[in-house]
Chains A and B, each alone.
Chain A
């Protein structure tokens, strides 16, 4: 039971460290709401700006298609220009002084009257700041085209069904929860994983390399506590820190979502429906073994390092190793299968998507748990073995 004495002492020790508290509580609890709020605010203001933007359009061939010109001139938030010479149009659009140029030829009216296709050329910049020019121009053209088609059908005495053979009714049977899970589900575990890792990192460095640096390692090694007691006591504290940070991050996310006025109300309803205690509980059962996996890994590496600084440089690349599969898990189309269910971190991300969507495959879930607990067990075993190696703990 000496490992409990060690764990108790380590908890007192790390909770008195300001850096640990900032990383474990302050960052996840306050940073997430701030980040979420900022992202939503920026997205909203960009969308608003895009819709409020005055579109500058030059129409070439106004005399050939006066009706079409009027349709454009009647657009909401548009400025029709007529001074730009045709050969300078491209550079004006490149520089974003002009948003679009519409070219209509002399044959336009004849083609329309003869029930033929009229050519319209539109110059625009696909990479403009808001990306909405083409959509707005297209909106006017589609409406105008529909009007012409309707007139033609009328003239030819045809019903709309002649050109529209199908009347399609799409009925989506996916629940709101499922859709949300597939789209955003991957991001939830991403937050847990990253914060869990961050939460474990500092205590792991402090309890391993920090102990060496302070010279206290010899003190506990010469105490009656066995190596297993020492490593287990430390591991439990790192795991607790990882798990708590992940949990606090979840709290931060929840607070963030509730407090941000810019999130659409219907989305909040879905989020509240989705994030039920059962869902959270299930996700946490995935987070626990993955947290155990990287807690053991971090502690092992930290014990190997000669100093805190060296430990930091050894552990830093692991950030990428953790973040990469977590990001892959958020990609659309990535699903749990017999292979992905075995890859740690990625499987947590994908399994969480399914949990949130409420479509769990028992076979894959079993595989995920077996893999996660297997890797966690292996990492703990490695950490204990590693700690027992003289060349590791007395590397300096």
Chain B
């Protein structure tokens, strides 16, 4: 369960950044990346955070994963506050982005063991879980090969295994399919679905509306740091005035 309450994030701007952003930011010293958003992600449901690039999706998810501290508001993950109890929050989370984020010089086994060790898993628990994941992901044939020498599909499988090795109750996916081919994207979408089936809380950010349509139970549309929609996917569909899901999204963002 993730509960986000009146979350705001300001980034201070350097003079160079102010110049790059143009006249609008000439006199401001901060940029508001996330502006007073509140939402709730329930176990066994997939919450889709939709928005174009630069809308504030990654900042929001990084705050959920305690990488960034909120300027205002609060986040609670499985009952733990993200600021005062960051470590407990991180223990609950599996974090995945579009980059495979692997160490080329390690093997998949070593990579997965490293993350398991950071999560303080004991040997038996790790071995059992690792065998299970390597079975279902069919990773045994390349488990001890250096990651640098693996194909992108193998790397993606390794990335999945390291994200869920500690069986986290909360999964955070930050644009997990960006830059991936169709086959690997499908594997990720399957993973997201299976997380729901296992009763995990899933938050999933994307700018591809089709993906959200495929897997999400709840959606929120974020643009320039603000929420423009936050309800179930079904409710969104019933309120649609445009022909397609994508058209509706563009229409709503355009209105904003």
* A interface residues (Cβ-Cβ under 8 A, vs B): 2, 5-6, 9, 12-13, 16-17, 214-216, 218-226, 390-391, 394
Contact = CB atoms under 8 A, between A and B. Distances in A.
B5 interface: no
A299 B114 CA distance: 21
Interface residues on B, range: 20 to 34
A309 B87 CA distance: 32
B91 A222 contact: no
Interface in B76-131: 86-87, 90-91, 93, 95, 97, 99-106, 110, 114-115, 117-120
Contact of B110 (A12, A221, A224): A12
A224 B119 contact: yes
Interface string B164-179: 0000000010000000
A228 B223 CA distance: 34
Contact of A9 (B11, B91, B101, B106): B106
The 10 closest A-B pairs by CB, nearest first: A215-B99, A222-B95, A223-B118, A16-B105, A215-B101, A222-B65, A5-B117, A224-B90, A216-B101, A221-B67
B95 to A, nearest CB: 4
Contacts of A13: 103, 105-106
Interface of B: 11-12, 62, 65-69, 86-87, 90-91, 93, 95, 97, 99-106, 110, 114-115, 117-120, 146, 162, 172
A218 B67 contact: yes
Contacts of B87: 224, 226
Nearest to B104: A214
Contact of B101 (A2, A16, A214, A226): A214
A222 B103 contact: no
Contacts of A220: 118
Contacts of A218: 62, 65, 67, 95, 97, 101
B37 to A, nearest CB: 19
B95 A216 contact: no
A105 B180 CA distance: 95
Contacts of A12: 105-106, 110
A84 to B, nearest CB: 70
B101 A223 contact: no
Nearest to A211: B103
A390 B104 CA distance: 26
Contacts of A214: 99, 101-104
A198 to B, nearest CB: 20
A216 B67 contact: no
A221 B105 contact: no
B90 A216 contact: no
Q: Which of A12, A13, A224, A391 has the most CB of B within 10 A?
A: A224
Contact of B90 (A215, A222, A391, A394): A222
Name which of A17, A221, A222, A226 has the most chain B CB atoms within 10 A of its CB.
Answer: A222
Given A226-B87, A391-B12, 13 more contacts: A5-B117, A5-B118, A9-B103, A9-B106, A17-B105, A214-B101, A218-B67, A218-B101, A222-B67, A224-B87, A224-B90, A390-B69, A394-B67
Contacts of A226: 86-87
Contact of B93 (A6, A9, A222, A391): A222
Contacts of A390: 11, 68-69
Nearest to B100: A215
Given A5-B114, A9-B106, A12-B106, A219 B101 contact: yes
Contacts of A5: 114, 117-118
Contacts of B65: 218, 221-222
B28 to A, nearest CB: 16
Nearest to A217: B101
Contacts of B146: 16
15 contacts: A5-B118, A6-B118, A12-B110, A214-B99, A214-B104, A218-B62, A218-B65, A219-B95, A219-B115, A222-B65, A222-B90, A222-B93, A224-B90, A225-B118, A391-B12
